[in-house]
């Protein structure tokens, strides 16, 4: 009886929490439409504080920050939205538009063929989605091979064999992509510069020489950490060190 009451209680809490989240989302949307951008941001942030996240939530929050002329926060949340839904064209368009409003205009190093393939194909889904695809392919493959072994009709058996090879191959490919994307997610980290202006040093200390300067809203790749300093790389390949507090990790 105790387990039953606990189950009902947990379901009720989950339902109330979901209702509250939806109400906050609608409240934020109404405030955004009324040009009350600070209120909209606060409503969206309350949802995030509850442990919920989605591409739409980050997208709306980014738009509110953009309307508030806070480019660093806008770009940060567009990037968060894009990480959850890499194919969302609305996010890509708004992110590109926001990036045109920052000071730093850094030319990117041309991408390798593999990086282009990764961005165009492999990065369509995050690694957890690829993992789901791999599991689904594994289950489907198991059923197909079971039907193959129990089938007694030569033509049908041949058909099951062909499909079994195809689905098993897709399973192996999706497993490989899952491992690759997971490794990238764990080892490749990006951040957004939040300081109006920051001097990037050639070593992790204040007395080191300045190599270049970055401004608010610029995206950097985190390469290493030493104490209160981060080693970062920008789109054109330049590398340097800046204080931890000047960037916000994605």
Cα–Cα distances (Å) from 4 to 9, 11, 17, 68, in that order, read 9, 11, 20, 48
Radius of gyration of the chain (CA): 24
Of 50, 58, 51, 48, nearest in space to 86 by CA: 58
Q: How far apart are CA 195 and CA 216, in angstroms?
A: 5
Digits of tens for pLDDT over the chain (250 positions)? 344 344 443 444 444 455 588 888 889 899 999 999 999 999 999 999 988 888 999 999 999 999 999 999 999 999 999 988 888 899 999 999 999 989 888 887 777 777 777 777 777 777 888 899 999 999 999 999 998 988 888 888 899 999 999 999 999 999 888 888 888 777 789 999 999 999 999 999 999 999 999 999 999 999 999 999 999 999 888 999 999 999 999 8
Q: How far apart are CA 231 and CA 225, in angstroms?
A: 6
Q: How far apart are CA 69 and CA 23, in angstroms?
A: 26
* Cβ pair 115, 184 in contact under 8 A: no
Q: What values do phi and psi take at 230, rounded to 5?
A: -120, 135
Q: Give the pLDDT of residue 18.
A: 55
Q: Give the pLDDT of residue 181.
A: 81
Q: What is the pTM of this model?
A: 0.74
Cα–Cα distances (Å) from 69 to 64, 115, 216, in that order, read 9, 33, 12
DSSP string, 154-196: HHHHHHHHHHHHHHHHHHHHHHHHHHHHHHHHHH-EEEEE-SS
Q: For the sheet containing 189-193, what is the strand order?
A: 210-215, 197-201, 239-243, 229-233, 219-226, 189-193, 247-249
DSSP string, 193-244: E-SSEEEEESSSSTTSPEEEEEETT-EEEEEEEETTEEEEE-TTS-EEEEEG
Q: How far apart are CA 76 and CA 192, in angstroms?
A: 6
Q: How far apart are CA 249 and CA 240, in angstroms?
A: 16
């Amino acid at each position: 009886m105790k387990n039953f009451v606990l189950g009902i209680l947990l379901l009720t809490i989950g339902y109330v929490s979901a209702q509250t989240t939806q109400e906050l989302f609608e409240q934020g949307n109404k405030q955004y439409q009324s040009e009350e951008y600070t209120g909209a941001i606060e409503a969206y942030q309350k949802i995030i504080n509850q442990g919920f996240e989605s591409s739409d939530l980050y997208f709306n929050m980014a738009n509110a920050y953009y309307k508030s002329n806070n480019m660093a926060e806008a770009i940060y949340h567009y990037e968060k939205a894009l990480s959850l839904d890499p194919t969302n064209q609305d996010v890509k368009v708004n992110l590109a538009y926001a990036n045109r409003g920052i000071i730093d205009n850094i030319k990117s190093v041309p991408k390798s063929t593999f990086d282009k393939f990764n961005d165009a194909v492999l990065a369509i889904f995050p690694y957890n989605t690829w993992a789901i695809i791999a599991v689904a392919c594994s289950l489907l493959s198991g059923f197909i091979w079971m039907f193959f072994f129990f089938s007694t009709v030569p033509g049908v058996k041949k058909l099951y064999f062909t499909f079994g090879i195809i689905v098993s191959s897709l399973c192996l490919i999706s497993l490989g992509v899952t491992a690759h994307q997971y490794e990238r997610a764990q080892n490749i980290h990006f951040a957004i510069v939040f300081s109006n202006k920051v001097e990037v040093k050639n070593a992790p200390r204040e007395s080191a020489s300045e190599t270049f300067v970055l401004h608010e809203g610029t995206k950097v790749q985190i390469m290493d950490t030493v104490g209160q300093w981060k080693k970062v790389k920008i789109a054109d390949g330049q590398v340097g060190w800046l204080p931890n507090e000047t960037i916000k990790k994605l």
